[in-house]
């Protein structure tokens, strides 16, 4: 499995699918889902007003990106109420998400779940829990092993979350080392100006 950690925002990550999460009781939309709503000119907010989208736990809504984000499509995942959100609730929902991704034949996606002090969920630990949950799903369905091994998963929560997410992925890699090969890809360092001048 390749895990890409980017300092860019989620709307710039290319792939089959952008997975963003929505709470039932958080209005206006905040974080990544708020950003996606803005990129879609308020489409998600309109869906909420029309009760076509609720944020109920396990709700899934697939929306074409219409070129407004780099991924081909957006999967909105309902997480239920904010106060019920935890590492355990994420771990419980991962098999359901993996099954959905398999049915969509998605193998290159960007994943964004709410994290930070406002949710009492550390971004690094959340990333670790997500990767361990994906591995557990693979153990329950050995026929999916090849699909998951060839999976590309991106995290793009901006520069301020980069180090936390990287630590979470590194921790998951060390825990899962005997069960799954994880290759971590990060932005390359900027070349010094002297090096650039030599290449002109």
Render pLDDT for 114-157 as a digit per residue (tens, 0 to 9). Answer: 999 999 999 999 999 999 999 888 777 777 778 888 889 999 98
Is the pLDDT at 64 greater than 80? The verdict is: yes
Give the mean pLDDT of 174-193.
76
Query: How far apart, in whole angstroms, are the C-alpha atoms of residue 26 and residue 56?
Result: 11
CATH number at residue 107: 3.40.220.10
What band does 52 get if pLDDT is binned at 50, 70 and 90? Answer: very high
Check whether 200 has a pLDDT greater than 50.
Answer: no
Residue range 79-124, pLDDT digits in tens: 999 999 999 999 999 999 999 998 898 889 999 999 999 999 999 9
Report residue 172's pLDDT band, with 50, 70 and 90 as the boundaries. Answer: very high
Q: What is the pTM of this model?
A: 0.87
Q: pLDDT of 16-37, one tens digit each?
A: 999 999 999 999 999 999 999 9
Domain residues for 17?
2-198
Whether the predicted pLDDT of 198 surpasses 50: no
Beta partners for residue 2, in sequence order: 152, 183
Contact 74, 17 (CB under 8 A): yes
pLDDT of residue 197: 43
Residue 197 burial (C-beta neighbours within 10 Å; 0-12, 13-18, 19+): exposed
- Kindly list the distances between the CA atom of residue 126 and the CA atoms of 115, 183, 190, in Å, as whole numbers in the listed order: 7, 18, 29
pLDDT of amino acid 188: 64
Domains identified in the chain, total number: 1
């Amino acid at each position: 499995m390749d895990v890409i950690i980017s300092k860019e925002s989620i709307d710039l990550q290319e792939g089959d699918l952008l997975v963003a999460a929505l709470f039932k009781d958080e209005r206006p939309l905040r974080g990544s889902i708020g950003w996606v709503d803005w990129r879609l000119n308020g489409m998600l907010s309109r869906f909420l007003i029309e009760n076509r989208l609720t944020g109920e736990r396990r709700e899934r809504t697939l929306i074409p990106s219409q070129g407004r984000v780099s991924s081909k499509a957006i999967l909105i995942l309902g997480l239920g109420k904010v106060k019920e959100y935890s590492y355990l609730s994420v771990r419980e929902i991962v098999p359901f998400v993996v099954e959905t991704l398999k049915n969509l034949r998605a193998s290159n996606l960007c994943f964004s779940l709410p994290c930070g002090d406002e949710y009492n969920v550390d971004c690094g630990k959340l990333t670790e829990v997500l990767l361990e949950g994906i591995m557990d799903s693979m153990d329950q369905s050995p026929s999916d092993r090849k699909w998951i091994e060839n999976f590309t998963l991106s995290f793009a929560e901006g520069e301020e979350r980069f180090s936390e997410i990287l630590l979470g992925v590194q921790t998951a890699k060390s825990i899962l080392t005997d069960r799954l090969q994880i290759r971590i890809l990060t932005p390359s360092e900027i070349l010094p100006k002297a090096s650039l001048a030599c290449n002109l």
